Every structure is written in structure tokens, then in C-alpha cells.
């Protein structure tokens, strides 16, 4: 039965498929500690369903097994060349932003719905009458990286992301919880060794210790999850990143084994990788929705993306950016206006320093 499920998962395009029990995740105490210390920031849903995350039985009564699926969003050398070619079409003199690699694709939530439903149906048919299953893709109350390590998909690295020996850490995860009993895989063991490249690479030092992350300082949190103003002291550390950050992932030595995946590669959007910041700052709400339809960036909404754009221009912009920022400072959205004023001040300070 396991082999049949794994074969069907490969046929549907999943890059990895592992099996584990529905026992409580071992990282439950660390997760609760992070919540008690407030390291989850404004992600209040983590606390609301914390009890479910540490006990799969509260997610699906009678659950006995969990299928964990890995989906690679790695870009091959050929894909990278396409990305460079797309960038060369833009005026390189204009200030560019940087978008996390996973977001330079169609939204993975929508991409994975069809194959996940198909695999869940396959599991249901194998189990027969009375079998119940639930599938999730980054949306369910489960500690998915813990389950993925227990299912042998990879190990949780010191940056708290999953690392696969055969795929690196450019991985998305999905799960199927089922009442069907399946033989579990052997868990993967941690293979970070003495490497601390991810800790050294973090611009904001949000990885406060190996395997310990303070989301409140993470650039991915600040540019995506945080809906209000970005703390002033952290803005200069964001650089030109306008949606997410890959620094800790990019330096992982296990990426030398990374391979492109069959589900995400066809929906890659290399044109999103390094957008022109001044063009983004001129987006109306309708244009924003059209430009980023069906991509993860749509989730940030115009107010969030333009907030991030203003911060990036404050960090790398020159006097040429001031007219656009002056217009943004008059934006009816207070969040955008406040960050635009900050950016103007940063550019003016750099100019005064250079002249003085």
C-alpha cells in the first residue's frame, strides 16, 4: 500500500513522499516556548490553534498516519539564464528590488491543490469505506517540518527550515493526514554538523541561536506577515528585499544537490525576481492586482508591497527616486506615506553626507 501511494505521488509530480505516524511532534515544547516568548510576532493564528499543532488527533480524530510531500522550487542553470535574460530586458540603471525565489512562481497553494486532491482520493480508495483523510498545503495546524523530518524527507536545519540531502532547502511541503495505518519511514537525522553559514548570512540576526528563530526580526516576516509599520531600526537591514528573503537558504551547502521540480518549474515567473522599484511605486490598486494575479505577492496587497518598496528605496535609492517618493508620501494609505517619508529622509541624509 505504501509503495502504491509513493508511486502515485511521483506520477502526480511530487518530488518526495514520506510516511510517519500521527504521534505528537517532538518539537512541541520548543514551539510552545516560542509562543510564550512572543517570537511569533503578529502571527496570532499560531497561538490560537497551538493545541492542534502539537496533537494531530485534534486535527483529525482517529488519525493514524501522515503522508508528507516535498515539492522543489529550485531553478536550474537553464532557468537562471532565463531569469538573467528577463532582467536584461529592463533598464539596469533603475533601482531593483529582490523577491524570494518561491514567490517567483505562480502561487504554490493553487498549483498543488489538484495533485493533492488526487492523491488524497487515491489514499481514500485504498483505505476503503470508513477511511478519512485531510490534506494541507501550508495552511493546516500541523508542525510540518517536524513531521517531514520524522517521515525522512529531510532534516530541520539550524535556520529552522527543512533541508533535504537530495533537494537542498528549496522545498515546499504538503501533508495528508489519514486514518489509514501505514508503515512509517525512518526519520532523518540532523546533518548540519559544525556549519553555521545560515546564522552568519542572516542580515537581521533573526536566527538567535542554532535552531532558534525570532520571527519578529526575520525579513520574510517583516515584508510579508507584518501588516503594520516596519520597525525603524530594522529598515536599513532589509536592503532591497521587497518580498521575503533567501539569504539563510541560499548559503546552505546542501543546495549543491538541488534539482528542479516538475510541479513548480512550469509555473516559474523569472520576471518577478528583480522588479523596477520606481515602476512598482506608481502602481494603482487595480494595476497591482493585475500585475501580481495568481502569485504569492498578491497576498501582501498594494499597501504592504509599496511599504516594502519605500524601505528598499530608502536603502538603495538616489535623488532620482525622490519625485516618486514625494508622490508616495501623499498616498491616501498612511502606511505607504509614512515609509515614503522615511525613505526621502534616508536619501537626503546620504546626499548631505556625500556633499559634506
The dihedral through the CA atoms of 273, 278, 281, 283 has a sign that is negative
Cell of 106: 505562480
The dihedral through the CA atoms of 292, 293, 298, 301 has a sign that is positive
* C-alpha span between 311 and 289 (Å, rounded): 21
Beta bridge partners of residue 20, listed in sequence order: 66
* C-alpha span between 294 and 311 (Å, rounded): 25
Of 79, 138, 214, 246, which residue is the catalytic one? 138
- Is 138 noted as a catalytic residue in this protein? yes
* Side-chain half-sphere exposure of 349, counting CA atoms within 13 A: 9
Q: What is the DSSP string of 209-245?
A: ETTEE-GGG-HHIIIII--SPPPGGGGGGGTTEEE--
SS3 call for 15 = coil
Beta bridge partners of residue 168, listed in sequence order: 164
Q: What is the DSSP string of 140-176?
A: SSS-HHHHHHHTTS-EE-TTSSEEBTTTBT-EEEEEE
Q: Would you call 115 exposed, middle or buried from its count of C-beta atoms within 10 A (0-12, 13-18, 19+)? A: buried
Residue 83, Ramachandran bin (φ over 0: left; ψ between -120 and 50: alpha; else beta):
alpha
Beta bridge partners of residue 164, listed in sequence order: 168
Output the CA–CA distances (angstroms, integers) from residue 341 to 79, 98, 155, in the order listed: 38, 21, 43
Q: Which sequence positions are flagged as catalytic? A: 138
Amino acid at each position: 500500500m505504501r509503495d502504491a501511494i509513493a508511486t502515485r505521488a511521483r506520477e502526480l509530480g511530487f518530488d518526495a513522499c514520506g510516511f510517519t505516524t500521527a504521534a505528537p511532534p517532538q518539537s512541541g515544547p520548543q514551539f510552545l516556548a516560542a509562543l510564550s516568548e512572543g517570537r511569533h510576532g503578529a502571527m496570532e493564528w499560531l497561538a490560537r490553534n497551538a493545541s492542534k499543532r502539537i496533537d494531530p488527533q485534534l486535527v483529525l480524530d482517529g488519525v493514524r498516519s501522515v503522508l508528507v510531500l516535498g515539492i522543489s522550487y529550485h531553478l536550474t542553470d537553464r532557468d537562471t539564464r532565463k531569469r538573467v535574460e528577463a532582467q536584461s530586458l529592463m533598464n539596469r540603471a533603475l533601482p531593483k528590488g529582490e523577491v524570494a525565489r518561491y514567490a517567483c512562481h505562480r502561487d504554490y497553494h493553487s498549483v498543488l491543490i489538484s495533485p493533492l486532491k488526487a492523491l488524497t482520493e487515491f489514499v481514500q480508495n485504498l483505505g476503503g469505506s470508513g477511511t478519512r483523510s485531510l490534506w494541507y498545503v501550508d495552511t493546516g495546524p500541523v508542525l510540518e517540518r517536524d513531521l517531514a523530518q520524522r517521515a525522512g524527507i529531510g532534516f530541520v536545519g539550524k535556520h529552522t527550515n527543512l533541508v533535504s540531502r537530495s533537494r537542498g532547502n528549496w522545498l515546499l511541503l504538503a501533508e495528508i493526514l489519514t486514518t489509514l495505518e501505514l508503515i512509517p519511514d525512518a526519520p532523518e537525522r540532523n546533518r548540519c554538523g559544525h556549519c553555521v553559514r545560515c546564522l552568519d548570512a542572516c542580515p537581521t540576526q533573526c536566527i538567535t541561536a542554532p535552531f532558534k528563530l525570532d520571527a519578529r526580526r526575520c525579513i520574510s516576516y517583516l515584508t510579508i506577515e507584518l501588516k503594520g509599520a516596519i520597525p525603524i531600526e530594522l529598515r536599513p537591514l532589509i536592503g532591497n528585499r521587497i518580498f521575503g528573503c533567501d539569504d539563510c537558504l541560499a548559503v546552505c551547502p546542501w543546495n549543491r544537490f538541488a534539482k528542479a521540480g516538475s510541479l513548480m518549474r512550469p509555473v516559474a515567473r523569472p520576471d518577478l525576481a528583480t522588479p523596477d522599484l520606481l515602476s512598482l511605486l506608481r502602481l494603482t490598486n487595480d494595476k497591482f492586482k493585475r500585475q501580481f494575479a495568481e502569485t504569492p505577492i498578491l497576498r501582501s496587497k498594494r499597501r504592504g508591497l509599496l511599504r516594502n518598496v519605500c524601505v528598499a528605496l530608502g536603502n538603495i535609492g538616489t535623488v532620482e527616486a525622490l519625485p516618486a517618493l514625494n508622490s508616495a508620501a501623499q498616498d491616501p494609505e498612511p502606511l505607504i506615506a509614512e515609509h515614503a517619508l522615511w525613505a526621502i529622509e534616508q536619501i537626503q541624509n546620504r546626499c548631505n553626507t556625500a556633499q559634506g
